[in-house]
Structure 1
Amino acid sequence: MYSMPMNRIASWLADNDFRIGRGTIGGLLSKATAVFSRLQECLRQAVLEDSYISGDETFHKVRVEEKNDKGLKIKKGYIWNLVAHHLRLAYFFYSRGSRSEKVFEEIIEGYNGTFQSDAMSIYRKLGDGKYDGINRIACLQHIKRRFIDIKEIPKAAEILRLFNLLYDREHRHRIGRDGWTVADNLRWREEYAPPILARIEEKLNAVKTDPHVPADSDLMGAVKYALNEWEWVPAIFSRGDYDLDNNLIERMQRLVSLLRRNSLFFGSHKGGETAAMYLSLVVSCRLNGVNVMEYISDILNRCASWSPTTPLEQYRNLLPDRWKRSETAD
C-alpha cells in the first residue's frame, strides 16, 4: 500500500511494539495470495467487461536463478497494467517478467471494446485489425511529450501550442460538474476538436516535407511519431467519455516507481506475481475511495471461508467498486 519492502514493514511494526520477522511476513503474504487467487481472476474478468480500458507496462528488478558462479542474477522484469475507466478497477499482471506479445494476448484474451495506449508495437497491432472487436485509441500525452522536450525549436513550440489548446478547450467543462453530461461533452468535442486537429496535422505534414529539417533530428522524430499515431487520434474525440491520454494509468504506476526506489528487487518471479495481485487490490480501492486496510481485512476472512470451487461470479461483489463491509467484521 505504501510501496514498502518487507524489511521496512517489519521495522515499522517493531516501532509500534509488534515484532514479527520478515520471513513470517513473507509467508503470510503468500498464504493470503493463495486465498485471493480467485478474487484476482474475477478482477481481471470484470476489467475486461468494461467497454473502455487503458493499458501500459512498467518494470521492476527481479532476482532469478541462473547458471553462474553465484547461481542468481538480477534482471529487469515487467508488470502489465489495465484499468477499467467506467468501473474504476485496476488489474496488474506479472508473468515471469516477460514483456512479450504472448503475455499481452493472455491478459487481453476475450476483450471487446476500446483500448487506449501508447505506441508500443504490441499495442499498435490492436489498431491494425489483428484483434477482432478491439478499437484502439491513442494517448495524446505520449505524442505531446516529444514536443515538450524540444519546445525551444519554433516549429515544435507551435505544434505544442496547438496540443495545449486542445487540453484548454477540454478542461473548460468536466463531466458531472454543473450538470455537464457525456452527451454534452461529445457535442463540445465535435465543435472544438476538428479544426484544431486539422491545424496540427497540417503543421506535422509541413515539417515532414520540409527539406530543411534533418531526417535524424529530434523534431523530425517527434513529427514521425505523431503521424504514425495520427490514425488513432481523432477517435479520442468520437465519444464524450474518452480521456485525452493515458495519465490515469500512469499515475497508478507511481506505486511501482516508489517500490523500485524502496526495494532493490523482487526476490523471485513468485514475488512479482504477489506484488501484482496486491497492487491490483490497492489501486482498485484507491480508485473507488475504499479504505485499503478495512477492505483487505474484511475480504480476507470472507474469501478464506469459501470453497476453492466457488464460482467467480460470487467474488464480483467483493471487488472494490461493489464491496460493502460485512456486518460481522470487527
Structure 2
Amino acid sequence: MVWKRFLPYLCVRLIPQNLMFSNFCHLLKKEIHRVALYSKDGTIISGKAPVTPLQNSNFDGSFIAFCAQMHYMYSMPMNRIASWLADNDFRIGRGTIGGLLSKATAVFSRLHECLRQAVLEDSYISGDETFHKVRVEEKNDKGLKIKKGYIWDLVAHHLRLAYFFYSRGSRSEKVFEEIIEGYNGTFQSDAMPVYRKLGDGKYDGINRIACLQHIKRRFIDIKEIPKAAEILRLFNLLYDREHRHRIGRDGWTVADNLRWREEYAPPILARIEEKLNAVKTDPHVPADSDLMGAVKYALNEWEWVPAIFSRGDYDLDNNLIERMQRLVSLLRRNSLFFGSHKGGETAAMYLSLVVSCRLNGVNVMEYISDILNRCASWSPTTPLEQYRNLLPDRWKRSETAD
C-alpha cells in the first residue's frame, strides 16, 4: 500500500446547543477534515469525509437550516444574518446565504410536491392568499421594477400540514386550479370569486364552507352603528358558545361537539339572518353605506355558513391559515421584496416546511438539516411516496444525524 497525499476537506457545521448570550460565538463550528488518498494494486482509494448536500459547497445541511430558520421563521433579512455571523467571527456574504437557500430547493422540490399531495388527501382544508413584493424586469407606473406578487397557501386541518405556492406572483383562477386539482373534500375560505366558484358546483367533489371571521370583521369596523353592533353581538354569541368546549379537552369528542353545535347554533343563526334581512329591506339604510355593504357581504356568503356547524370538527373561521400568513407579513416588512420570481418560489418551499413543522411541534432547524443531508443523494426521479414519511407529521430524525 502506498500513501500518496492528504487533501484538506472543509466542512461548515452549525452545532445546536443550549446557549447563554455570551456563548453565541460557539454556535458555529468550522471543521477541517483531512482526507487520506492511497493506492493499492493500481486503485486509488479515498477516505470518507462528511457529506455536504450541495455540489461544490462546503456547507453542511445544519448551516443552511440555520439560515432558513432565521430568514423564513424569524423574518431576519439575509444582510442581517450575515452581520450577526460576522459579529461572531464567521464571515459570509448575504449573496452566499441567498445562493445556499436557493440551491437547496433542488433537494426540496420533490418533497414540496409530496407535501401538496398529502394536503389534498385531507378531507378538510382551508385556503387563502397573501402578497409580497417582487422585483421584475418591467417598470411599474412609478418607474420601479417592483410589483405585487401573490403567494397561495393551503392548510390541512387533520394532518396539520401547510402548503405554500408561488407562480410568478399570479392570483389568477388558472393558478388556483393548478393547486387544487384532484381535491375532494371540504374547503374553507373567504369570499374571493375564485373560491366562491367552489360552492357554485364548478368543482365536483368539493364542498365549500364560509369564514365567519371575514363576515364579522365588516361589522367590527362599523360597530358604532347600533344595527351593526346588534349583529356583531350575535356573532360574538356564536363564538362564546363554541369556546365553552374544546375537542380533546376533558374527553370532549368531535361527536360531542357536533351535538353541542346542533343545540346552540340554529337559533342564533336564525336571529342573525333575520337581522341581516331586516337591514337589507330597511329603506332608511343607504344602499352605498358601510352597513349595507357589510350586510350584503354576509348574505352573499350565508348559503355556506350553516354548513360550518354540520360537523363537529370544522373551524368557525380561517384564523389558522391567517396566523400562518403572519410569517409572510413579517418577511414582507423586513426584507421588502423577493429578488425575482425564483425568490418567491424559494420562499414558498421554505414557508411550507417551516409552518408544517410548527403545526406539528417539530424543531424547524433539526428538520431542515436532517432532510437536506438525507435527501441530497436521492435521485430526482425518486417516487413521491418515498418522501411521505419525511413530511413533518411523520418525520423521525435520522439515526445517523449528528
Q: TM-score, normalized by length of structure 1?
A: 0.98
For 1:284-327, what per-residue CA distance to the aligned partner results, in whole angstroms no more than 9, with x for missing partners?
00000000000011010111021111100000010000001010
* TM-superposed deviation, 1:264: 1.6
Q: SS state of the match for residue 179, structure 1?
A: coil
* TM-superposed deviation, 1:17: 2.2
* TM-superposed deviation, 1:5: 2.1
- Contact kept? 2:140, 2:146, Cα under 8 Å: no
Larger % of strand: which? 2
- Contact kept? 2:151, 2:164, Cα under 8 Å: yes
Say if 1:64 and 1:199 are closer, same or farther in 2 by CA, change over 3 A: same
Aligned equivalent of 1:309, options 381, 384, 388: 381
- Contact kept? 1:64, 1:74, Cα under 8 Å: yes
**Stretch of structure 1 that moved more, 9-18 or 257-266:** 9-18
- Contact kept? 2:161, 2:393, Cα under 8 Å: yes
For 1:268-298, what per-residue CA distance to the aligned partner results, in whole angstroms no more than 9, with x for missing partners?
0000000010000000000000000000110
- Contact kept? 2:140, 2:147, Cα under 8 Å: no
For 1:82-134, what per-residue CA distance to the aligned partner results, in whole angstroms no more than 9, with x for missing partners?
00000000000000000000000000000000000000000000000000000
For 1:213-237, what per-residue CA distance to the aligned partner results, in whole angstroms no more than 9, with x for missing partners?
1100100000000000000000000
* TM-superposed deviation, 1:9: 1.6
Q: SS state of the match for residue 72, structure 1?
A: coil
1:279 aligns with 2:279: no
**Stretch of structure 1 that moved more, 66-75 or 131-140:** 66-75
Say if 1:219 and 1:71 are closer, same or farther in 2 by CA, change over 3 A: closer
* TM-superposed deviation, 1:71: 9.5
Say if 1:9 and 1:137 are closer, same or farther in 2 by CA, change over 3 A: same
Aligned equivalent of 2:112, options 19, 40, 49: 40
Cα distance in structure 2, aligned partners of 1:123 and 1:89: 20
For 1:18-74, what per-residue CA distance to the aligned partner results, in whole angstroms no more than 9, with x for missing partners?
211111111111111111000000000000000000000000000001279999610
For 1:137-187, what per-residue CA distance to the aligned partner results, in whole angstroms no more than 9, with x for missing partners?
000000000000000111000000000000000000000000000000000
Cα distance in structure 2, aligned partners of 1:163 and 1:15: 52
Runs of at least 5 residues in structure 1 that lack an aligned partner in the other structure: none
Say if 1:311 and 1:68 are closer, same or farther in 2 by CA, change over 3 A: same
Say if 1:288 and 1:219 are closer, same or farther in 2 by CA, change over 3 A: same
Aligned equivalent of 2:218, options 131, 146, 150: 146
State the structure with bigger RCO (CA 8 A, min sep 6), 1 or 2: 1
Over aligned residues, Cα RMSD in angstroms? 1.4
* TM-superposed deviation, 1:262: 0.2
Say if 1:68 and 1:253 are closer, same or farther in 2 by CA, change over 3 A: closer
Cα distance in structure 2, aligned partners of 1:214 and 1:250: 32
1:166 aligns with 2:243: no
- Contact kept? 1:65, 1:71, Cα under 8 Å: no
* TM-superposed deviation, 1:15: 2.1
- Contact kept? 2:139, 2:146, Cα under 8 Å: no
- Contact kept? 2:186, 2:208, Cα under 8 Å: yes
**Stretch of structure 1 that moved more, 9-18 or 89-98:** 9-18
Larger % of helix: which? 1
Which residue in the other structure is 1:29 paired with? 101
Q: TM-score, normalized by length of structure 2?
A: 0.81
Cα distance in structure 2, aligned partners of 1:69 and 1:279: 30
